Amino acid sequence: MMRNAGGALPARHILGNYELFEEVGRGGMGIVYRALDLSLDRIVAIKILRDDLRAHQSIVTRFSREAQAAARLDHPNIVQIFSVGAADRTPYIAMEFVDALPLSAVMQREHRLEWGPALKIAQQIAAALGCAHDSHVIHRDVKPPNILLDDHQRAYVTDFGIAKILTVDDNLTVDGTRLGTPHYMAPERCKNGEVTASSDLYSLGVLTFQMLTGRLPYEASTPVAMMQRIIAEPPARARKYVPEIPEDVDRLVAWLMEMNPKHRPESGHAVCEAIDRVLAGRPLDIQESRSAAVIEEFRKDLAADTSANRTTVSEADRSVRFRRGVMIGAGIAMLIVAGSALWRMLQPAAPPAIAARPEAWFEPARVAEFGNEGDNVLLVELQLNGYSIRDMYPAGADGQVAVMLERGGGSEKHVLATVSPSRREAGIQFVAGPHSRFAMLASASGVSGSLFEGYGLVRAENRSALVSLREMSAPIRLNSALAESLVAAMHPAGSQWVSAETDSNGKTLLVAHAYANGQTESRAITPAGSPIVTVQYSRDGQYIAYVRESGKNDYSLRVISADGVESEPTPLRSGNILISAGAFNTDASQVLLSSNAAAPRVEAISAADGRTLSTFDDAVRGAWDPRRDDVIVTAKDAKGVLQMWREQPAAVREQLTFLDHGIYEEVLVSPDGQWASSHAQASGNPSVVFVRL
């Protein structure tokens, strides 16, 4: 059914007449395996009902109805159903195996598509939905994971797992839960109203919007808030985010997402015809058809008058009425054109894309676009197309972060940018040429009057320098002892920093540096040993945590006084572990570490003896909230997408972000505890997501 997205089964497994090979996908109700049909010697996809659902007879019944509904559909853009049955009390569906990727995976890789290919994919989906609707089948869950795309850009609609047959009274539900995905739900569905074929077309509009822009028309912090916005607010227009999209493409998507179902296209076939017009460069036939309808209505009225009066209409009267009809039609057409022009005039001007000229990168108004993605969630899209975020560092108490970006896998230009969520400002601070390497130290606190407040340490092309995080400035050259260091941390007060450096024997030690009166003083604070991969200061600057690499996937964590030690203490923890920014809690009594074992986990351990004090299962990375000593973690949501959460021992995990494409693993918390931040995956440009805590 799709390319391998799972794993091989532990041993040869036979289910009825099929040999199952490996898992290739999961849906809300079932698991899909690539399999061999032993009787026909052909590769198929086998979908079996999840173990935890088989005990519910109503769900088993609906699972069978899914197959019966989908098996009647014969269309080149719908995955074909071969058979349905049960073996060893396991219900299954055998279907066509499609060597393709889910559209969600393609979107995660491409972020957004050009409007031509996006419309061609949407047209194939519309054709498939038109076929299903002709057979009185509604899909009810049109979204990227349920669309497969092969190497030839052929789209397949799959997983009619929650489709209903319109002509059958079917009240089955899964444990009373609402069916479908809130982001793609039509307004009438969010209000528990009647679900029709038009509801699928609305979902297709949302999906097309996402292909064109790399984002969704609505975002919210909770599913309930999401549905409230869908019910109450008109959806965003695609051209707001991608101005180069042709106007007719924008209007087509808006037509699909009309809040009133009666104002949407009448069928999937009508959508296909409209897309044909747009792809051919002809006007989208919405306004034209309305004008034609007015003239046609006038002609019918004229004929009705003639029949009712049973009199002959004079040529003069006919001419007057015709001219009147033409004037009415022309007047309406003029109003439509004028209204369209007025609508374009009222749209906010989109910020121009950042220029390729380096000097233009320092114009703050052109660096980033700020947008709210739900309650207390801010998405900042950096206008640096082709760049990716390599790392982020805390850079101020107001939530400001320093973002290091690279292009060409590090072989082209590097850019250091700063972003402030509280001031909604962004700026490019430092640009380096090809083959550059960076180490950036950002202040972990906003201590007023500190020399290093708002400064960072950058290494580029064998040159290390302090740079201002508020203006492009690199006035201070550092000593050569630091020139090769790429692992370092800044003291919270800003007057000191510590770096991992290599001695003449190739061993690594920690060196503390202090800057005063234009001079830098340095001293070793640990013995030399194996490579040091991470170092972090406690919030008060009195302690240092660092991790040494002992072997492949083997690391050891130590905590020492910032004054240094003559001999290293016994490791607090060893194994496949790491620490991140924000590892220390407020009083430095606990350290957060992440385990990269088979199952991800974040642990809070004692900084004194390494005892586990709290465990946050399934969390990937974490950082302390200094105000409450809660932990902000990244962990997967129900869709398997990384989101940001608030963790408290013995309490329910609270989800903070609901971004469709999720975030990256690392999470930062500002020193004042006002903001949490991470890399975002919501658009084609590098993006940063901020959450107000």
> Where in the sequence numbering do the catalytic residues fall?
141
Based on its alpha-carbon atoms, the radius of gyration of the chain, rounded to whole angstroms, reads 30
CA distances for 649 relative to 38, 185, 616, 617, 632, angstroms = 51, 35, 8, 11, 12
Handedness of CA 641, 642, 643, 649 (dihedral sign): positive
351 alpha carbon, distance to own chain's centre: 22
660 alpha carbon, distance to own chain's centre: 4
Query: CA–CA separation, 573 vs 593, rounded Å?
Result: 9
Handedness of CA 284, 286, 292, 295 (dihedral sign): negative
| Phi/psi at 450 (5° precision) | -70, 140
Q: DSSP labels for 142-163?
A: -SGGGEEE-TT--EEE---TT-
Query: CA–CA separation, 598 vs 7, rounded Å?
Result: 14
Element at 335 (helix H, strand E): helix 315-346
C-alpha torsion angle, residues 19, 25, 29, 30 (rounded to 10): 10
Instruction: For residue 200, count other CB atoms closer than 10 A to its CB.
Output: 28
Query: CA–CA separation, 657 vs 675, rounded Å?
Result: 13
Instruction: For residue 88, count other CB atoms closer than 10 A to its CB.
Output: 8
CA distances for 258 relative to 204, 205, 226, 300, 347, angstroms = 12, 9, 17, 29, 18
The amino acid occupying position 227 is M
Q: DSSP labels for 211-268?
A: HHHSS-S---SSHHHHHHHHHHSPPPPGGGT-TTS-HHHHHHHHHHT-SSGGGS-SSH
Query: CA–CA separation, 351 vs 346, rounded Å?
Result: 15
* Helix pair angle (115-134, 197-213), 10° resolution: 170
Q: Which has the closest alpha carbon to 356: 382, 381, 385, 380?
A: 385
Query: CA–CA separation, 629 vs 627, rounded Å?
Result: 6
Query: CA–CA separation, 229 vs 226, rounded Å?
Result: 5
C-alpha torsion angle, residues 363, 364, 367, 369 (rounded to 10): -140
Query: CA–CA separation, 77 vs 154, rounded Å?
Result: 8
For the chain, the straight-line distance linking the first and the last C-alpha, in angstroms and rounded, comes to: 42
386 alpha carbon, distance to own chain's centre: 17
Q: Say if CB 25 and CB 640 are below 8 A apart.
A: no
* HEC readout, 52-103: HHCCCHHHHHHHHHHHHHHHCCCCCCECCEEEEEEECCEEEEEEECCCCEEH
Where b means 16+ CB within 10 Å and e means fewer, 386-413 reads ebebbebbbbbbebbbbbbbbbeeeeeb
What does the DSSP 8-state code read for residue 129? H
Query: CA–CA separation, 257 vs 524, rounded Å?
Result: 64
